Amino acid sequence: MIIAADSQALSEGLQALRAQNTTVGLVPTMGNLHQGHLSLIQQASNATDIVVVSIFINPMQFAAHEDLDTYPRTLEADLSALRNVGADIVFTPSSSDIYPHGSNNETAIHVPLLGDALCGKDRPGHFDGVCTVVYKLFQLVKPDVAIFGEKDLQQLLIIKKMTRDLKLPVDVQSGATKRAQDGLALSSRNQYLSENERALAPLLWQTLQHSAEILAASPANDARPILIAARKTLEQAGFSVDYLDLRAISTLSAAHDATQDCALFAAARLGQTRLIDNIQILDT
């Protein structure tokens, strides 16, 4: 496994491995890897000959009041896990390598509409930072395939649109959300939860599942009463709900019923930890 600490080392490693005209897969991460990340890496390994995993805590996607400084950093454990899963190159650049002029002084990529809804509304500029760093990684790695998890469904849809709009020659694929046994979506931020909060956290997924079942059973019915009831369930249990919305998958515009391909999107806080999750409701 090649550990490339800067873009020059990445280029040299890729050149050596590409000598036999092999295909390249990319899995971008911010480290603190869990089974969800590893499943994406395995998916990339099944789809391509060379797998590049990036570990970069991207300052451009964090607001001033967010957890950039305290975000979990576990590089040695991550490298050990990546050796076991068979990654070929691990790219671990510094911020100055990705943003030579500083992340506040570089051109940013904005995806309108999709990037302005849901988490984009609650975290202004977040998806500009995501798109910018992903674009830079695409330019540096030049992957044939890139894998992103469905747990961050809004992010996945935004990256797909950016790739289409900018005509980037990358096949953006999705990986299924990995969950703990009690249903909580795996996330690096789950470790922020206290013992009591962790015990309560699976209610977010349970509430989404229950609401999706009701919507799917009567897709033409008005979704608003179901969303109101779901929000009330979470708030009464102790969640602070940022949003719980039914949105069309293609545009992320508000959906009033489930007669089209849509998804329930939720973001809610337990203490200081912000949890996000979603469940798709596909029109069959």
DSSP state letters, 145-212: EEEEEGGGHHHHHHHHHHHHHTT---EEEEEPPPB-TTSPBP-GGGGGS-HHHHHHTTHHHHHHHHHH
Of residues 247, 216, 242, the one with CA closest to residue 231: 242
Angle at 23 between CA 22 and CA 24, to 5 degrees: 120
Structure tokens at 100: 């030579």
Tell me whether residue 37 is one of the annotated catalytic residues: yes
How do strand 273-281 and strand 262-270 relate by DSSP bridges?
Answer: antiparallel
124 and 63 in contact (C-beta within 8 Å)?
yes
Of residues 8, 1, 180, the one with CA closest to residue 86: 1
CA distance 163 to 92: 23
Catalytic residue among 34, 37, 65, 256: 37
Structure tokens at 19: 């000598």
Question: Which residues are identified as catalytic?
Answer: 37
